[in-house]
Amino acid sequence: MKIIVGLGNFGDDYAYTFHNMGFLAVECLADRLSVKISKKQCDALVGETNVDGEKVVIAQPLTYMNLSGNAVKKLLDYYKATPKDLLVIYDDIDLEKASTRKRAKGSSGTHNGMRHIIATIKTEEFARLRIGVGRPPMGMPLADFVLSTIPKADRPAFVEAFEKTADDAELFIKGKLF
């Protein structure tokens, strides 16, 4: 059992914002695995498949970013999974735009969605993939920046980041990432 959760905010207003890196990355993974993320369950949109005999759940929380832990906890409980079965994909302002980083565990850093997940499931012991969005321009509030639309000129680099993240997620599913 593997649960892959991409963090973001649902709705058309947020679809192509920096804060939706997780949603966009799991959509890339779902496309590869021919999975529709469409079933409403556990405060999330969910798609299910099997990869080499391993059940895989791909989810996008419907709780908004700062309450992501509610959906993650419900998913873990519903599927009788443990945090070691969990991979969370999200944006990171502390990484260069379109760069990626993987960690087997760790703190939330500056990310409120991750902070809520850790507080709700009561552990930092779960895998995560981060996609860098960089820092806001001078004088721009952080919330305005992460909720701003990804400039068209930056999109090709982010598509590459989503592909790399999907590669790493597939390795996680197969037990070959950490």
Which residues are known catalytic residues? 19
What the block records as the tokens of 1 is: 């059992």
- C-alpha–C-alpha distance, residues 60 and 32, integer Å: 16
Query: Hey, what's the torsion of the CAs at 18, 108, 59, 52, to 10 degrees?
Result: 120
21/161 Cα distance (integer angstroms): 9
Task: Work out the number of other CB atoms within 10 angstroms of the CB of residue 63.
Answer: 20
What number of H helices and E strands is found in the chain? 5, 7
Residue carrying the six token digits 């419900």? 74
- Cα of first residue to Cα of last residue in the chain, in angstroms, is 16
Residues 107 and 115: their CA atoms lie apart, in Å, by: 8
